[in-house]
Amino acid sequence: MLSLVSGVLVAGWIGWDETRRPQPMWIMNIVWPVAALFGTVLLLWGYLKFGRSAAGSATKSRRSTPDTPFSVMVGKGALHCGAGCTLGDIVAESLATFFPGVALWFGWRNLFDEKMFAVWILDYMLAFLLGVAFQYFTIRPMRGLSVRDGLIEALKADALSLTAWQVGMYGFMAFAQFGVFRPVLGFSLAADSVEFWFMMQFAMIAGFLTSYPVNWWLLKAGIKEKM
């Protein structure tokens, strides 16, 4: 509970700070607080050191400059992708909890005995839509593209990164469920429990780690914008 509350408090503080120090790229005003939900104090350190804009200005910022290490640019790119994944996963898990029939639509009891696997499909779909939207609103204005070209470039920039993030997240949650909670602790993780969302914080960090090398390549290849 302490970890989850810390994430909410850090996200709230960053959101408040951004009202006085807006990001030059408006979508990052969403990315930083959302990423703080799982990154907590570590994300706060990253925001203060590499992401915080000058007071009252969206132009005097620490957005990628020649002095910004490339590794930091990659990290920002991964967080940009991860924010869409995080929001998509929160919405999907909440829908499946409050409306259990949703999981049936995605194969629970027909294709999968395990509800988690069915919800993962919904997770991926929503994360993909939000991730592409985040990329679209980054790439299109920066490159001055049409709607069609903006969508194409957003898909190119986010598809691999988002998939790599979800692989890390799913892998960790599978390990937590089938390797720790059921066999060792004797109960299953469910989205209406504190333990589930605590494990999701670690799962998102795992997603960051698996998507980081993909984002490195995407930035080096010029497919994804530096931030």
31-46 per-position pLDDT tens digit: 999 999 999 999 999 9
Closest CA relative to residue 33, chosen from 53, 18, 49 = 18
119-129 per-position pLDDT tens digit: 999 999 999 99
Q: What pLDDT does residue 42 have?
A: 95
Look up tokens 């999701």; give the residue: 200
Q: DSSP string of 154-201?
A: HHHHHHHHHHHHHHHHHHHHHHIIIIIIIIIISS---TTSHHHHHHHH
Domain boundaries defined on the chain = 1-56, 70-227
Q: What pLDDT does residue 165 have?
A: 95
Q: What pLDDT does residue 19 have?
A: 94
Q: What pLDDT does residue 55 have?
A: 57
Look up tokens 């530096």; give the residue: 226
Q: What pLDDT does residue 60 have?
A: 45
Question: Which residues of the chain carry a pLDDT beneath 50?
Answer: 60-64
Q: What pLDDT does residue 209 have?
A: 97
